[in-house]
Amino acid sequence: MTTTTAEDLREEVRRRYAESARAVTEGATGSCGSGSCCADGETDASSFGEALYEAEQRNELPGTAVLASLGCGNPTAVAELREGETVLDLGSGGGIDVILSAKRVGPTGTAYGLDMTDEMLALAQRNVAESGVRNVHFLKGLIEAIPLPAASVDVVISNCVINLSTDKATVLTEIARVLKPGGRIGISDVVAEDRLSPAERAERGSYAGCIAGALSVSEYVAGLEAAGFEEISVSFTHQVADGMHGAIVKARKTESPESKGLPVIQPAQTAGCC
């Protein structure tokens, strides 16, 4: 029996998203099936991709950015981005959410896109150039090791990418690290009902199809709490398979006493110590 490792799964995801980027570049609609998120026909096509964006938003974007949309939601619609903020999109793909974010935060703000796939990064750069936005920077890397300094980002968004990671605890910890105290997340992801075991999730679709690796609601909440988040909510938006849903995940990084303007209480010194 062949054992599938975490690196095998990551390479499968990388390969299939690279194929999708090449297909869009060559004028097709994608090679992962019309349903986006590289689904294999296990899920309804209308649950993923460009259909989840308003026509007005799609009209703001280059056509290839829309065609390359592989997500399960629209995180820019829920992240409440503000002028001048710094936003990071994890798994930025063809750049649709980075471009929309850059427009929302304006010229005084910054939008970063992080992706591990060369083909997607090249497509995204082309789409950004066509869109005319200037406040965008793309980074190559893994969402488990974000190449940005600590406390450098106001908002982290992501569109159906965290479910693809094989080390979600590290991803959530990394998100907390790069966020400023009080910073927030607005994430679209596939999330399972608590009644489904990991094996039952895997029966409903593949890992690269954004199904088998999905967290349950309680797992998502526990992971965010462990990473230092508060005000956590996980809200289902639409069903993508039996017991599996597109969802909006929101939370805020716990603020330090200093950021709240509160005095920092130092531990009492023991007599004769140090």
Average pLDDT over residues 108-117: 96
pLDDT tens, position by position, 231-245 = 999 999 999 999 999
Report the phi/psi class of residue 211: left, alpha or beta, with left for phi > 0 and alpha for psi in -120 to 50: alpha
Question: Tokens 């999330």 label which residue?
Answer: 191
Q: Is the pLDDT of residue 167 over 90?
A: yes
Query: Which value, to the nearest 10 degrees, does the dihedral of the CA atoms of residues 68, 70, 71, 73 take?
Result: 60
Q: What is the largest CA-CA distance in the chain?
A: 75
108/179 Cα distance (integer angstroms)? 18
Among 41-50, 96-105, 205-214, 221-230, the minimum mean pLDDT is found in 41-50
Using the Cα atoms of residue 248, residue 31, residue 25 and residue 44 in order, give the sign of their dihedral.
negative
Q: Is the pLDDT of residue 38 over 70?
A: no
Average pLDDT over residues 86-99: 92
Q: Is the pLDDT of residue 23 over 80?
A: no
Pairing of strands 110-115, 86-90: parallel
Q: Higher-confidence residue: 160 or 138?
A: 138
- pLDDT at position 37 is 57
Q: Is the pLDDT of residue 106 over 50?
A: yes
User: Which ranges of the chain does DSSP label H, i.e. alpha helix?
Assistant: 6-25, 55-59, 63-67, 96-105, 118-131, 168-178, 198-203, 217-227
pTM: 0.80
Among 4-18, 162-176, 236-250, 256-270, the minimum mean pLDDT is found in 256-270
Q: Higher-confidence residue: 72 or 99?
A: 99
CATH code given to domain 6-253: 3.40.50.150
Can you give the residue ranges of every domain in the chain? 6-253
Q: Is the pLDDT of residue 214 over 90?
A: yes
